[in-house]
Structure 1
Amino acid sequence: MYPNCPSITRTIELGGLSKHQLLQRLRERAIFINEYGEMLITDEKFTTSETKYCIETVEISVGSLGFPNGANTAEIFERAKVLGLYLCPLELGPYLRLEYIEQPEGNTGTSSQQNQAPRGAITVATETLYDDDDFPKGLYLRRINGDLWLRGYIADDLHIWNHNDHFVFCLTK
């Protein structure tokens, strides 16, 4: 269990770009965004910092948080908090995608099971903007057939994440 488990730490620089500039930078780098990702980033509640700053992150599996049989989002986030991890600012998703270009391939040639995180996805642990189950809850990173993606996702409070699903948390507030 964390911190005595496999994990990946990264230092990511955020801020200094408007939402428009951030979307432009993603397009310039040939990073694809799904409809839910666009919906989330273009929402008025999605904000970006005018000032640059750095965040230390850790990527770990749901199982490494002590959930060998998986858990829902609230359980995952509560356990992370107990372990000294913090939710990330929503703007981390696009910046992390811009930085993390060596993500391993997530497509195994078989279709993903519906209502589960795709194989190889890394979900950014963030607060949700709205309680509406039809509005994207957050962002995840994925590489599919060599293409980098920043994707939004929809999940309700009952969704159970698998033990091998990966999340990114912040090491400091």
Structure 2
Amino acid sequence: MTQHTSKVKSVTKGQEKQWDRMGQDFAASYKGGSRKLELAKGHPDVVTRVHRLFDELAAERELMLPIEERGPFMTVRIGTHQNVKRLRKTLTDAGNRISDWGSDILNRITLAKKPEDVNIVVVTVAELGFPNGATRAHIYEKALSMGLGLLPAEVGPQLRLQYPDQPLGEWILVGMEPITDSDGYLKVFYVEHNGNGRWLRGSYGYPGHVWRSDRRWAFRCK
């Protein structure tokens, strides 16, 4: 999975020196022998593949950290469209699909008046301390107590638009103030990638609705 962040800090000289030493240690402890080591070093894709490994290891390590210490999963820009009609067209022109429930509450959101970058973190219900699942009210309460914040509703469609490489089978609920739909029911956005495409959908927003422990929620982070 690719993290989408607006700013990437350059590697420091100190980190370069640390990796120089670690590289020497890795080479010295390699059990495959000098010939394989030289072959690997001379591979035309060695840099690209090592960098990809760094990304994979960094993503795994990030998930091992306490939620409060994690970097942003993604930075989403809001306030990029003048009205919902244009945002909707941009979504569908990019090949995204919008469910009936998602479309209903999309018509009811308020867009930011100017561009703003919003950092989000994605956590499971279990990671928030609920191994047996929890209600939306309890999920929000725990997230807020950990220093996270609710997201503007516009993050829902913008997340869908700005996350084209969402892994197949993944879906992320948006931690937002629920919106009352045309039938009077509370709904929240979620983004999903399934066999039928990339979706912006709406789901149950009642405080007492129970969510499974493996469900993933997006919240605002610093």
TM-score, normalised with respect to structure 2: 0.65
Say if 1:37 and 1:136, in contact at 8 Å, map to a contact too: no
User: Hey, what's the Cα distance between the residues in 1 that align with 2:133 and 2:182?
Assistant: 23
State the one-letter code of the partner of 1:22.
L
Does residue 33 (structure 1) correspond to residue 98 (structure 2)? The answer is yes
Q: How many angstroms does 1:49 deviate by?
A: 1.3
Query: Which residue is equivalent to 2:212?
Result: 162
User: Which residue of structure 1 aligns with residue 158 of structure 2?
Assistant: 95
Secondary structure of the corresponding residue to residue 22 of structure 1: helix
For the 8 Å contact 1:15–1:51, the answer to whether it is kept is yes
Where in structure 1 are there 5+ consecutive unaligned residues?
107-119
Q: Are 1:133 and 1:155, in contact at CA under 8 Å, matched by a contact in 2? A: no
User: Residues 89, 133 of structure 1: CA spacing in aligned structure 2 closer, same or farther, 3 A cutoff?
Assistant: same
- The C-alpha deviation readout for 1:135-157, integer Å capped at 9, x for no partner, is 24110010111610000113533
Structure 1 distance, partners of 2:208, 2:137, is 9
**Structure (1 or 2) with the larger CA radius of gyration:** 2
Write the letter of the residue equivalent to 1:99.
Q
Identity in percent = 31
- Moved segments of 4+, more than 4 Å: 4-8, 131-134
Asked if 2 retains the 8 angstrom alpha-carbon contact of 1:105 and 1:146, the reply is no
Partner in structure 2 of residue 153 of structure 1: 203
Higher relative contact order (CA 8 A, sep 6+): 1
User: What is the match of residue 114 of structure 1?
Assistant: none
- For residues 99-136 of structure 1, what are the alpha-carbon distances to aligned partners after superposition, in whole Å with 9 as ceiling and x for unaligned? 11111111xxxxxxxxxxxxx32000000133998524
TM-score where L is the length of structure 1: 0.82
Identify, as 1 or 2, the structure richer in helix.
Answer: 2
Equivalent pairs, count: 157
